[in-house]
Amino acid sequence: MLLEVTDLLKRFGGLKAVDGVSFAVDRGEILGLIGPNGSGKSTVMNLIMGVLKPDSGSILLDSREIGGRSPNRIAGHGVSMVFQHSRPLHQQTVLQNLYLALLPNRLFNFRLSPDIDSRAHDALKLVGLEHFAGRKPSELPFAGLRRLELAKSLVRKPSLLLLDEPFAGLSASEMEEFSDLIRQLRSDERAIILVDHNVKGVRALVDRIVAMSSGQKIADDLPDHVLASPRVREVYLGRGDEAVFRRPHSPAPDAPSALKVEHVSVRYGEAIALDDVSLSVPRGEVTAVVGLNGAGKTSLFNAICGIVPASGTVEYEGRTPRARRAYEIARSGVVLCPETRELFTDMTVQENLGIGGNALAAAEKRRQTEFVESLFPRLAERRKQFARTLSGGEQQQLAIARALMMKPSILLIDEPTLGLAPIIFDAISNVIETLRESGELSLFLAEQNLTFALRHADLIHVMEHGKIKWSGPAGEFDAGSALIA
């Protein structure tokens, strides 16, 4: 075996990010390392590369222990990593960026070796950038930058190539091309490990998949077997029998919409996060957008709430405002409760709610606080506690409660149940049902957890790679085919 990882353990504070993971890869193999967000897969990559030091366990490369060494020494042993976010040298040309990767780690080195040029050109040709040799990296398209980073790794002739989410931010066609490129890199000389949270994206490319969840390995098998594994399906789709919760009710097709999104796209630099999305959220109902991590759900919510610049139009309650800023949108009643929660951690629960209700008059604020506290009795008990001392579930409740203090007409909740215990899960479920029955607001949820989404949503939108892939009433939704296969 080229690489043997045994009982790898890494803690961040109290959290075991990687908890006793073992696997092996041999030359000639392409291994996919998959798992949802926070499963520890990127941490495993960083441990192999030496960016992080393991707390215990061993990492053997060609039977030599490399765990805990510095990245430059591990690089010297023939491991190379392509980061998801790269920062090439902007003042230099693409070719000079490759020279950098070819330089020896020697201080007194004032002359380039004569074969460096041909080696750099060969690598550029391999990744299809030969016509960009004399250009600056800033002139490359986003996918081109990723190719440049790949070329920088390849010129070092690594025996182990690590690719961290190689497809993130690429369009569908770019993904296809990049997959083909990686396929060409398969060789008897080297092993490739690629990390992705999308099972579908890698199944055709890899020989074997190691799946992770909550820091542990949950599967290690051929791609089709991993996809069929009940454990993996549970992690990706949520537990329980969906049909029980599925709502019989379908919204009328001509129901008035609280929110109408038309041709909205979001780009981060050159990376496409949201690609021409159109959808609507019917008034007084619960709508859910489902999809894997990285599908573009958060970007969609941020675009609706004016937090990231976006092209296209968003209509709120029938009005299309021009050039509104995030705080104005929030003030007008379109309120976002983000996945990151964004609480005021060094303030008390009460103070957090107070800031949420900052626009309300004193009497109204009191009434709204009472209403919110009746929804979340846990928060009422912890009124004087600092937000940072709350448990994860209580913080999530506080985030929703703070958003409700703004008396929203449309409430967007991004990943309301991510990483929460079942009991909190139920509490949030009850609140969502109470809010639906009040009929006063329209709810828009983004969820990875299908069970939760199906339990509440009247209308479902499925997202993948920044696009809406399927839209329809919850009753017509087929989970397995939409998300995994």
Partner 1 sequence: MTVPRSDRSDTGPWPYIVAAIVVCLLAAVPFLGVNAYLLSILTLGLFFAVFAMCWDLLFGYAGEPNFGATFLIGTGAYTAALLSSNGLASPAVCIVAGAIAAVVAGVLLALPALRLRGPYFGLVTLVATLILRQVIILFSDYTGGEIGIAVPDIITISSTLNFYIALGAAVLTALVLRLLVNSPFGLVLEAIGQDPLNARVLGFEITKYKVSAFCVSAFFSGLAGALMVFYLGTASTNVFVDASVGVQVIIAAIVGGRRTIVGPAIGGVFLIAAAQYLHPLGSLSEMGVAVVALVILLFLPGGLLGATRLFRKAR
Partner 2 sequence: MLAELIVSGVIISAIYALATTGFTLLYGVSGILNLAHGTTLATAGIVAWYVAGRSDLGLVAALAAGIAAGVAAGLLTFWLVIRPLQRNFELSESDEHVFMLVATLLWTIILQEGLASIFGDVSVSLPQMIPGVVDILGVRTPASSVFVAIIAWLVIGLLWFYVSKTKSGQILLAASINPRGLVLCGINLGRVHLLVWALYGALAGFAGVLVAMILGVSPSSGLDLTATAFSIVVLGGLGSVGGTLIAANLIGFIETATAYTLGPSLRSLPALIILVIVLYFRPQGLFGRR
Q: Where on the chain is the footprint of partner 2 (CB under 8 A)?
A: 305, 307, 325-328, 330-331, 335-338, 342-347, 351, 354-356, 358-359, 402-403, 406
If the CB atoms of residues 111 and 319 are measured against partner 1, the closer one turns out to be 111
3-state secondary structure 203-250: HCCCCEEEEEECCEEEEEECHHHHHHCHHHHHHHHCCCCHHHHCCCCC
Which amino acid appears at position 368 of this protein? Q
The residues binding partner 1 (CB under 8 A) are 49, 51, 70-72, 75-76, 80-81, 83, 86-87, 89-93, 96, 99-101, 103, 105, 107-112, 114, 116-118, 134, 152, 156
State the binding partner of 351 from partner 2, partner 1, none, CB within 5 to 8 A by kind. Answer: partner 2
State the binding partner of 172 from partner 1, partner 2, none, CB within 5 to 8 A by kind. Answer: none
The 8-class DSSP code of residue 67 comes to: T
The CA distance from 129 to 124, in Å, is 5
State the binding partner of 330 from partner 1, partner 2, none, CB within 5 to 8 A by kind. Answer: partner 2
Strands (E), 135-186: 160-164
Strand 311-316, strand 334-337: pairing? unpaired
Beta carbon of residue 80, minimum distance to partner 1 (angstroms, whole number)? 7
Beta carbon of residue 274, minimum distance to partner 2 (angstroms, whole number)? 19
> Which position has the token pair 């964004």?
342
Beta carbon of residue 119, minimum distance to partner 1 (angstroms, whole number)? 10
Neighbours of 53 (CB within 10 A): 12
If the CB atoms of residues 48 and 400 are measured against partner 1, the closer one turns out to be 48
State the binding partner of 346 from partner 1, partner 2, none, CB within 5 to 8 A by kind. Answer: partner 2
If the CB atoms of residues 11 and 77 are measured against partner 1, the closer one turns out to be 77
**φ/ψ of residue 454, rounded to 5:** -70, -25
If the CB atoms of residues 224 and 364 are measured against partner 2, the closer one turns out to be 364
Beta carbon of residue 352, minimum distance to partner 2 (angstroms, whole number)? 8
Beta carbon of residue 66, minimum distance to partner 2 (angstroms, whole number)? 29
If the CB atoms of residues 258 and 460 are measured against partner 2, the closer one turns out to be 258
Beta carbon of residue 422, minimum distance to partner 2 (angstroms, whole number)? 27
Strand 30-34, strand 15-25: pairing? unpaired
3-state secondary structure 71-123: HHHHHHCCEEEECCCCCCCCCCCHHHHHHHHHCCCCCCCCCCCCCHHHHHHHH
| Cα 97 to the center of its chain, rounded Å | 29
Beta carbon of residue 43, minimum distance to partner 1 (angstroms, whole number)? 15
State the binding partner of 17 from partner 1, partner 2, none, CB within 5 to 8 A by kind. Answer: none
| Cα 186 to the center of its chain, rounded Å | 27
Neighbours of 28 (CB within 10 A): 14
State the binding partner of 92 from partner 1, partner 2, none, CB within 5 to 8 A by kind. Answer: partner 1
Strand 271-282, strand 257-268: pairing? antiparallel
State the binding partner of 105 from partner 2, partner 1, none, CB within 5 to 8 A by kind. Answer: partner 1
If the CB atoms of residues 251 and 338 are measured against partner 2, the closer one turns out to be 338
What kind and span of H or E run contains 343?
Answer: none
Cβ atoms 311, 275 nearer than 8 A: no
State the binding partner of 374 from partner 1, partner 2, none, CB within 5 to 8 A by kind. Answer: none
Beta carbon of residue 96, minimum distance to partner 2 (angstroms, whole number)? 19
